[in-house]
Structure 1
Amino acid sequence: MNGEQPGVLEGAIPPGENTVLFGHDAAQSFLANAYRSGRMHHAILIEGPQGVGKATLAYRFARHMLAHPDPLSAPEMIADSGPDDPLTRQIASGASHNLLHLARPVDEKTGKVKSVITVDEVRKAGKFFGQTSGTGNWRIAIIDPADDLNRNAANALLKILEEPPKRSLFLVLSHTPGRLLPTIRSRCLSLRLQPLSAPDLDLALGHLGAAPGEADAIIRLSEGSVARALLLRNYGGAEIAEAFVDIIERGSLANREPIHKLAETLSARDRDVAYQFFTELVIDRIQAMARDAGAAGDLNEADRLARLSVELAEHFATAAAYNLDRKQTVLHVFTLFFR
């Protein structure tokens, strides 16, 4: 983990520093051809599950454009770049004047990453595009992810998208595009990335240092996501998932000991990432259970679980917004499930 970069998981390579991408050949070819055509859309919504390579693809395409500012003479394929390439090093260090990365900022008072991308961050994009590039090159903004924009920030971004500057590109990343303002989605060209295949995920984990065969069990649980694989491997995610499923399969609150044990584990001071993994796991698993119930013809159970997933998402959002006690937040998950 690059400890100086908030939000980067242990064992991961920050997207701006990652020079290779596994899978997504069709998406890369689409972007390269769209750029070469000279008629590329000014905003591309790169959507797909978390951890499948959206940010890495965005940085990779940005490097491609900045290295070949004339679209008509650009290569047909986006090539890997070496770590010693000057442009690669410039982008990795955040020193490029032609690339802006917008993400949740660090709160100067607490030292922790804020829960949203604020309007002040988006205003940086306004200033960024308002400056004249000394090289006449493209100016590219990566919004990572746009799901984190609060309402004011989303509206501020929309204003820029409505009147995009010349030779500008917005790469808007989203794990859940349905949460974005419809007006933002309508101004973007959508490019969806699928979960990685097992062979590609194996290659990606090998690139991050996993030995051959070491990650077989993790790959089966990762649903094609490198981020989920790292959470399972380095943050105790496998044990958390196993404990959650075991409690759910018990079917009642009769034995509260494993519930309290899980809640205490997740509420420890140094378990921020594990807790976030748990909140996502809960929503994903219950949504999957709702789909399975629907497929089996149990529409009442499917409806109950679908409603529960929405209620739990709101529960977690409220707990985060008001900094509520995590142990009680976790305990309430099972109260809602078994009511």
Structure 2
Amino acid sequence: MSDQDPHILDGAISPARNPHLFGHHAAEDFLSASYKTGKGHHAILIEGPEGIGKATLAFRFANHVLSHPEPESAPDHIADPDPDSAVSRQIASGASHNLLHLSRPVDEKTGKMKTAITVDEVRRAGHFFSQTSGTGNWRIVIIDAADDLNRNAANAILKILEEPPRRALFFVLSHAPGRLLPTIRSRCQPLRLSPLSDADLASALAALGSPLDGGKTEEMVLTQSKGSVAQALKLLNYGGADIISAFDDAVSADGPAARKAMHRLADVLAGKDSDVIFGFFLEHLSDHLVKRAREAALSGDLATADRRAKLVSDMTEKLKIAQAYNLDRKQTLMSILESARLA
């Protein structure tokens, strides 16, 4: 993670400062046209996989609205932020009085992000609206991501969405909208973003200073990242490609060789400051098990398909218990890897 902001991956740019968005022109056109009518929805649920540009889109539209506060006179398209404008500078520096970005807070003791957006964070939204109630300006809240809201925080957001203040706009970002409270989803207009095409992903990486080389690395990144810039950066800058290779070795080997491979992989994943790559591995493992379950189902072996699918929930439960009781991460990983190898 960046030394300045633990929310930002190495090699990435904060969505608030990112001048470029790739692959979502239709979504931008929809938002700008909806805003210009003066009848746009007060809450937009931006859905899609992590790392494809949801937050960047939200900040770009926030810039558009704050730069053109009267809808009828706003341009019919969203332009790249003007770095010389006061609105863009304030948004980029986090100093805008009209924009609030809610995300998982950082634990002051550990310097790491907390596991959830708490109700205390949501109360900041109430304070934000009360402070700006007499300005007549647009007030914009970006919830990034709503999947991270704990139950109390989700209920608190729901109350605000049910009775939104005048000239308030909410962007509710979600990687997995099915996990949100149905009542939150019902109060938002959904806007689904698709994973980036290979060309858009390559362009986004080039804009970040990480151009693909056209060789095997490019093929691997395009295949494994699934249209996500975040996944691509984890592959390129966090050793994600090596983790995938080591996992393949661990599940395909037999006897002592398999045990040795699992130990090597578990040592890396259990290391200090390995949270990013640990999360990356868990996503890859889940995808692996789901794929294996699908293969069994398609071949007619429903018992094996059910067993492999159940491993995903078993894995999640083991990790929750290990985290709750501060159990040894390596031993938990060894148990999970052994189950995956035998799946």
1:165 maps to 165
Closer, same or farther in 2 for the Cα pair 1:242/1:36, shift >3 Å? same
d(CA) in 2 for partners of 1:55, 1:323: 32
User: Counterpart amino acid of 1:68?
Assistant: H
Residue 310 (structure 1) aligned with residue 321 (structure 2): no
d(CA) in 1 for partners of 2:299, 2:154: 39
Residue 180 (structure 1) aligned with residue 180 (structure 2): yes
1:192 maps to 192
d(CA) in 1 for partners of 2:181, 2:10: 32
d(CA) in 2 for partners of 1:231, 1:196: 16
Q: What SS class does the counterpart of residue 141 from structure 1 fall into?
A: strand
Residue 263 (structure 1) aligned with residue 271 (structure 2): no
Identical counterparts, % of pairs: 59
Residue 3 (structure 1) aligned with residue 7 (structure 2): no
2:154 maps to 154
Q: What SS class does the counterpart of residue 169 from structure 1 fall into?
A: strand
User: Counterpart amino acid of 2:279?
Assistant: Q
Q: What SS class does the counterpart of residue 256 from structure 1 fall into?
A: helix
Q: What SS class does the counterpart of residue 258 from structure 2 fall into?
A: coil
User: Counterpart amino acid of 2:332?
Assistant: T
Q: What SS class does the counterpart of residue 41 from structure 1 fall into?
A: coil
d(CA) in 1 for partners of 2:125, 2:273: 33
d(CA) in 2 for partners of 1:174, 1:263: 30
* Cα distance per residue 1:219-268 (max 9 Å; x no partner): 22210000000000000000101111232234778730000110001111
Q: Which moved more, 1:110-119 or 1:83-92?
A: 83-92
Q: What SS class does the counterpart of residue 166 from structure 1 fall into?
A: coil
User: Counterpart amino acid of 2:311?
Assistant: L
d(CA) in 2 for partners of 1:152, 1:252: 48
CA-based RMSD of the aligned residues comes to 1.9
Q: What SS class does the counterpart of residue 170 from structure 1 fall into?
A: strand
Are 2:202 and 2:211, in contact at CA under 8 Å, matched by a contact in 1? no
d(CA) in 2 for partners of 1:91, 1:165: 21
d(CA) in 2 for partners of 1:196, 1:280: 18
Are 2:251 and 2:258, in contact at CA under 8 Å, matched by a contact in 1? no
Q: Which moved more, 1:106-115 or 1:244-253?
A: 244-253
* Cα distance per residue 1:280-331 (max 9 Å; x no partner): 2211222233233334443333222222112222323333344332212211
User: What stretches of structure 1 of length at least 5 have no aligned partner?
Assistant: none
d(CA) in 2 for partners of 1:252, 1:76: 64
Residue 76 (structure 1) aligned with residue 79 (structure 2): no
Closer, same or farther in 2 for the Cα pair 1:168/1:23, shift >3 Å? same
d(CA) in 1 for partners of 2:255, 2:319: 22
1:1-339 to 2 correspondences below 5 Å: 2-132=2-132, 135-213=135-213, 216-217=218-219, 218-250=221-253, 255-337=258-340, 338=342
Closer, same or farther in 2 for the Cα pair 1:50/1:323, shift >3 Å? farther
d(CA) in 2 for partners of 1:317, 1:52: 27
Shift of 1:4: 1.2
Closer, same or farther in 2 for the Cα pair 1:144/1:251, shift >3 Å? farther
Q: TM-score, normalised by structure 2?
A: 0.93
d(CA) in 2 for partners of 1:182, 1:44: 14
Q: What SS class does the counterpart of residue 255 from structure 1 fall into?
A: helix
User: Counterpart amino acid of 2:100?
Assistant: L
User: Counterpart amino acid of 1:159?
Assistant: K
Closer, same or farther in 2 for the Cα pair 1:323/1:86, shift >3 Å? farther
User: What stretches of structure 2 of length at least 5 have no aligned partner?
Assistant: none
Structure 1: 4+ residue segments shifted above 6 A:
251-254
d(CA) in 2 for partners of 1:235, 1:254: 25
Are 1:119 and 1:156, in contact at CA under 8 Å, matched by a contact in 2? yes
Shift of 1:134: 6.0
Q: TM-score, normalised by structure 1?
A: 0.94
